[in-house]
Chains A and B, each alone.
Chain A
Amino acid sequence: MSTLLFRRLLYSIPVLLIASFLLFWMVRTTYDPTARLAQVRDPATRQHEIERLGLDEPVITQYRIWLGDFLRGDWGESVASRQPVSELIPKALWNTVQLIFWGILVAAIIAITIGVYSAVKQYSTGDYAFTALTYIGISMPPFWFGLIAIHFLAVGPKEWFNLDQVPLNYVGLHSVGESGFNWDYITHLVLPVMTLSIQIIASWTRFQRAATLDVLGSDYIRTARAKGVPRRRVIIRHALRNALIPLVTVMAVDIGLLFGGLIITETIFSIPGMGRLFITSLVGSDVAVIEAWMLVVALFILAFNLVADALYGFLDPRIRVQ
């Protein structure tokens, strides 16, 4: 098992290098990193920057210089904020991590509950209703759900009931002057967490339903029932435990994707996380941020893919042998 993981780890290094090179190549051939110096009078400044980044060299050399700097912790400087990228990204990352944490928590609880319920009560009215809902959840563009949610749960109620304030906030993670975990934080979290988790809930619910149905049809469940184990206990102790294994690995992969995948949620709700950082950098052609962002996000996706592999082997002994 550990050798398998080790091999995966070794293998992911070249994959990451090639992926990051491709991304780097795409960014460098699209944007001009010296554009921000266009205003500077002295042409020597620009020339100096060109030499420092190796811009007159082939892309592969530029990549080597950039990667070397990156590994030494020099991620460049943002044009917009004049801050080092190595400070900007962790700050944005922290906001994104909060969203991911709450989103995953909510999604997991809802998806597992509904998925198991639908499987146990297969073909019941409830099952059909939830299946229809997951269908809609998967077919709905998440950004539209966010807009509609703001209308129905924040701005609308304020108008309909003549409230002084919107019941749920939709700008940022805190009101001005507030911080920490408090009621203000929660009212700011509800809408973004709903928006980011709606599609995840829909797909995980379907997944969990299928996995539970699969397990419920297996011999050891029948054995447990035959021994006289109560139905509730069979479902929770015997079925759920095994039905969770596939979902846990899917969850790990999906969490990795969220690090770069909250662009929509963070844009709609003006949350200064990774997604918003990327969009603002792209609009401002902030090359240093875009380059570092892509590598960091790719690293997270890769890391969580490895976690998924490890979890799968850890939770399912049958995998370890292979």
Chain B
Amino acid sequence: MTETERTDRTDLLFVGDAADTLPGVFADPGLGGAEPSLVPTAEPEPLTQWALFRRRFKRHKLAIASLGVLILLFVACYGVSLYMPYEKGEQDLTAGAEYQSPSLQHPFGTDELGRDYLTEVLYGGQISLRIGLTVALICTVVGTIAGAVAGFYGGWLDQVLMRLTDLFLIIPALAVLAVAREKFGSSPTMISFVLAGLFWMWIARVVRGQTLALKEKEFVEAARAVGASGPRIIGRHVLPNCIGAIVVNATLQIAAAIITESTLSFLGFGVDGSWGDLLQEARGNYDSHTHLLYFPGLAILLTVLCVNALGDGLRDALDPHAKH
């Protein structure tokens, strides 16, 4: 699995915690980190971790493009009321206004009530994007803290976390989500919390694994020796070194949340008006009005593809040693 291992010298320094103690090492004029100077005595400007990350990320053209598309999508969905001439759910019941094929006036066509489908899809995107981001945020915060604490301190905390993951491994997730919807209601916030409740332990497990490996490293030992407290070691030395895994997993959670939510909505157990819900309504249009089938699905596909590509780019940039 050595396919994408990078050979940059700077990458080798990234994993250690040496950035703040050895700033000079990061200066690498050979890679264009500093302006080439004619005066040989001039100190090359040291590169920060952030600069290194940016440089590696910029090489990943696909990830950059994906980030651009995602930002565009986000702005398009949340700014929809500013530029679309139609309102959410605005019906046009005049004869012939329903089931129009895509045209200049209605780029995605219209549905059975003459609603502009592009507007509906964009409003649906608000729900999907919001759920994806909320789930990822909750999972990342809770999972990271739980994983780091469990891995670092071990003991009963660790036991509880591991047993919990064993437990959730055998619980049929989609079934639980459907029942939970009956129990807690179907607002996007509620669905996000339930999804996060099912997803957080995967990040926790990853962070725990990394923490277990990192806490044996010399720099943690050194920090202990100079009297750093547990929380400080976790915050200063352990978590910054897990950042690659954490960010990549966060993007995976966004993708998983968007797909799971749309699946739930498609089955009729999700949020009204989301992409999955639009597809549920469009279901059955196999022979006519197929535009109703295409667009919400393409929107999900595009979003999840971009999120996944972004995740790949971030992994390469944050953690060049990670194996694919």
Q: Specify whether A and B are partners.
A: yes
Q: Give residues in A with beta carbon < 8 Å to B.
A: 15-16, 18-19, 22-23, 26-27, 29-31, 122, 135-136, 138-144, 147-148, 150-151, 154-156, 158-159, 210, 213-214, 217, 260-261, 263-264, 267, 278-279, 282-283, 290, 293-294, 297-298, 301-302, 305
**Which residues on A sit within 8 Å (CB–CB) of B263?**
141-143, 264
Name 12 interchain pairs, CB-CB below 8 A, sorted by A. Answer: A15-B163, A19-B167, A19-B170, A23-B171, A144-B296, A148-B293, A150-B286, A156-B287, A210-B323, A213-B1, A217-B2, A298-B171
**Which residues on A sit within 8 Å (CB–CB) of B72?**
none
**Which residues on B sit within 8 Å (CB–CB) of A29?**
183
Q: Which B241-256 residues have a C-beta within 8 angstroms of A?
A: 255
**Which residues on A sit within 8 Å (CB–CB) of B2?**
213, 217
When A15-B166, A151-B293 are in contact, do A139 and B174 touch as well, CB less than 8 Å? no
Per the bound structure, the CA–CA distance linking A264 and B297 in Å amounts to 15
B297 close to A147 (CB less than 8 A): yes
B324 close to A210 (CB less than 8 A): yes
**Which residues on B sit within 8 Å (CB–CB) of A297?**
172, 175
Per the bound structure, the CA–CA distance linking A31 and B324 in Å amounts to 45
**Which residues on A sit within 8 Å (CB–CB) of B255?**
139
**Which residues on A sit within 8 Å (CB–CB) of B192?**
none
CB distance from A271 to the nearest CB of B (A): 15
The reply to whether the CB of B290 lies closer than 8 angstroms to some CB of chain A is yes
**Which residues on A sit within 8 Å (CB–CB) of B157?**
none
Specify which of B179, B279, B287, B294 is in contact with A143 (CB 8 Å cutoff). Answer: B279
| Count of CB-CB pairs between chains A and B under 8 Å | 126
B174 close to A260 (CB less than 8 A): yes
Q: Dominant SS at the A interface? A: helix
When A15-B163, A151-B290, A210-B1 are in contact, do A140 and B301 touch as well, CB less than 8 Å? yes
Q: Give residues in B with beta carbon < 8 Å to A.
A: 1-3, 163, 166-167, 169-172, 174-176, 178-180, 182-183, 255, 259, 262-263, 266-269, 276, 279, 283, 286-287, 290, 293-294, 296-297, 300-301, 304-305, 308-309, 323-324
A155 close to B182 (CB less than 8 A): no
**Which residues on B sit within 8 Å (CB–CB) of A260?**
172, 174-175
B304 close to A139 (CB less than 8 A): yes
**Which residues on A sit within 8 Å (CB–CB) of B1?**
210, 213-214, 217
> Apart from A23-B176, A210-B324, what are 14 other A-B pairs with CB-CB below 8 Å?
A19-B170, A27-B179, A136-B305, A140-B301, A141-B300, A144-B262, A148-B293, A148-B297, A156-B287, A260-B174, A264-B263, A278-B178, A282-B178, A298-B170
A135 close to B283 (CB less than 8 A): no
Output the nearest chain B residue to A158 by Cβ-Cβ distance.
B287
A22 close to B308 (CB less than 8 A): no
CB distance from B279 to the nearest CB of A (A): 6
When A19-B171, A294-B175, A301-B172 are in contact, do A30 and B182 touch as well, CB less than 8 Å? yes
